[in-house]
Structure 1
């Protein structure tokens, strides 16, 4: 596994850890490594549950914006079809329960990865940020599907349009996460939750997950494909250029000039 994604297996728990400086921002290399990690989990006969976590103070701040700047002229549609889209599908199609351990900030594409997981446990200081519109992009990584399915369209639209973070307590009351614990207790609580799952009938859990996919997310692949199409349109817009440069320059975007 690559330098910024680590895996280990304990007590039937296949642990995937994001570990990259600056809030575990997702690079192309990391996403490819995550694809490899979930493939490894699928083929590990001793794995009974997958636990996804971020090293340090944040789960992940989402796509590395500086990598976007360096890749001038890249097709966002092609990028999505090769990276986040297959990763989200991997998580949903994995016949094992997947638990996300979320502390600090989870934003953008990383929010999509967290929402693709079956269960989420968060620290009381966790913040859920849609993020995309802040850099002049539309939601991708199935956020446009998962978020309204979990908290309702009105709340999802407000979170997306305003870019205001959803607090841990809001996330709990709205059904975005299953549990909230103190930051000090998060790692041990997530492990115990995963351990409880690992002691259960995980093969039937996998079948139940297929049921949920069919009932709730039957059009997942079509949504991901459409998001990639929309993102390519957004990439060419003046608002994206303004949003990215404002992010890099650490200033408020001037949308009025776009």
Structure 2
């Protein structure tokens, strides 16, 4: 059985973690498949939006702890190589992607899977979904970018509380905290996600890329630097075919037909 399912519908590429018997826990092979599929989607000009979701009743339970992990000279488990080989490249790939990535939480996103989801641009959740920084339960610290992403989303105090307590955050609470953008009923979740992704994929792809670039840079810029970056990126947007189409559609009172350039 394939560990990752890849499906394309129009301009939407859906990547489904497919280890339901293990709650879609990550292994080295699943990581490799996912990174390969993400790279292919980013290079495919016909793909406008990427959706990452899980099969069965979970988004992902995080790292598969039954996997044969590297050991140090004394025989103890060494988690460093797995992070450097698998998780860190994946987070860099997601955060630096030129196209919007939607995390569709069909169920719990636990441990590293929570942080992979939060690295995506938009998080949609089924009502039964939850997020959990479960690392403290096995005496580890959050990884996969969690200590960088979560404090920036909800502040250091609240982020540290979620890390220290390892308490699950139900979807409704995650929505209130701003970790989730929209919440849907379980029964209609796949259809709602598909419709949302289609609408997003019909948007201006070049502007999306520039928005992502600006937001990513903002965390390290002061106001003046960010204003200068906005001006430079807006120049690029202003000479695009999409901008011309957007203005024409506005004046003609019709729906724009963006081309992503």
Instruction: State the TM bucket, normalised to the shorter chain.
Output: 0.7 to 0.9
CA 1:169/1:154 → structure 2, altered by over 3 Å: closer, same or farther? same
SS at match of 1:87: helix
Whether 1:106 and 2:109 are equivalent positions in the alignment is: yes
Partner residue, 1:62: 62
- Matching residue of 1:131: 134
Judged with a 3 Å threshold, the aligned counterparts in structure 2 of structure 1 residues 207 and 157 are, in CA distance, closer, same or farther, namely same
Give the aligned partner of residue 80 of structure 1: 83
Residue 146 of structure 1: aligned partner: 149
Matched, 1:194 2:193: no
Q: Report the 3-state secondary structure (helix = DSSP H, G, I; strand = E; otherwise coil) of the residue aligned with 1:14.
A: strand
TM-score (normalizing by structure 1): 0.80
Aligned length: 217
TM-score (norm 2): 0.79
For 1:89 and 1:67, locate their aligned partners in 2 and report how far apart those are by CA, in whole Å: 23
The one-character-per-residue Cα deviations of 1:169-194 (angstroms, maximum 9, x if unpaired) are 11111100100111111111111111
2:42 aligns to what SS in structure 1?
helix
CA distance in 2, matches of 1:54, 1:154: 30
Q: CA deviation at 1:132?
A: 1.1
Task: Find the aligned partners of 1:198 and 1:100 in 2 and give their Cα distance.
Answer: 15
Compare CA radii of gyration and give the structure with the larger one.
2
Q: For the Cα contact (< 8 Å) 2:111–2:135, is it kept in 1?
A: yes
Question: Does the CA contact (< 8 Å) of 2:126 and 2:183 recur in 1?
Answer: yes
Unaligned runs of at least 5 residues, structure 1: 219-258
Match of 1:235 in 2: none
Shift of 1:195: 0.5
- Counterpart CA distance in 2 for 1:181 and 1:133 is 30
1:24 and 2:27 aligned: no
Segments of 5+ residues of structure 2 without an aligned counterpart are: 222-261
The two structures, once aligned, show a CA RMSD in angstroms of: 1.6
